[in-house]
């Protein structure tokens, strides 16, 4: 593969553009696991916080509490679980990407599954008048 040459002016322009983009985006300050809600709390320097459900993250749904608590920031762009060797980018998490495409597809289909037990439960519920009405 050919070497790509970048002149000094292009390099400086790229550095300046990167600094401008970085100054406009909120930066992650901390991340911690909340065992009560089984979610990760990611806090940013602008006061915003993002909650991430552990059960929805690929390779973390069945992890032990001790391993989940070992979450750490990976620079300004990611989350890392050293005991589990699992990493996610913050950008993907903010977009709702909690695993590979195959994992996400299987997770979406989970509630749509049709099993004999599910069909029988729906029939029993229907015989009792169906889904209860929401109270105001």
Asked, for residue 46, whether it belongs to a domain, the answer is yes
Pick the more confident residue, 63 or 125: 63
Asked, for residue 123, whether it belongs to a domain, the answer is yes
pLDDT at 132 over 80: no
| pLDDT tens digits, one per residue of 31-69 | 999 999 999 999 999 999 999 999 999 999 899 999 999
Which CATH number fits the domain that encloses residue 118?
3.30.2020.40
pTM above 0.85, yes or no: no
Q: How high is the pLDDT of residue 121?
A: 77
| Closest by CA position to 52, among listed 31, 67, 29, 66 | 31
| pLDDT tens digits, one per residue of 72-104 | 999 999 999 999 999 999 999 998 888 876 666
Give me the count of residues in the chain: 136
Asked, for residue 134, whether it belongs to a domain, the answer is no
Asked, for residue 132, whether it belongs to a domain, the answer is no
């Amino acid at each position: 593969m050919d070497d790509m040459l970048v002149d000094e002016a292009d390099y400086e322009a790229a550095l300046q553009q990167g600094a401008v983009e970085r100054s406009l985006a909120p930066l992650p300050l901390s991340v911690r696991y909340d065992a009560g809600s089984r979610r990760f709390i990611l806090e940013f320097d602008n006061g915003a916080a993002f909650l991430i459900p552990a059960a929805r993250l690929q390779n973390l749904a069945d992890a032990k509490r001790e391993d989940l608590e070992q979450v750490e920031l990976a620079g300004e762009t990611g989350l890392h679980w050293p005991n589990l060797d699992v990493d996610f980018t913050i950008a993907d998490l903010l977009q709702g990407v909690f695993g590979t495409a195959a994992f996400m597809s299987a997770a979406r289909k989970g509630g749509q599954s049709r099993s004999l037990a599910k069909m029988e439960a729906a029939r029993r519920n229907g015989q009792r008048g169906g889904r209860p009405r929401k109270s105001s």
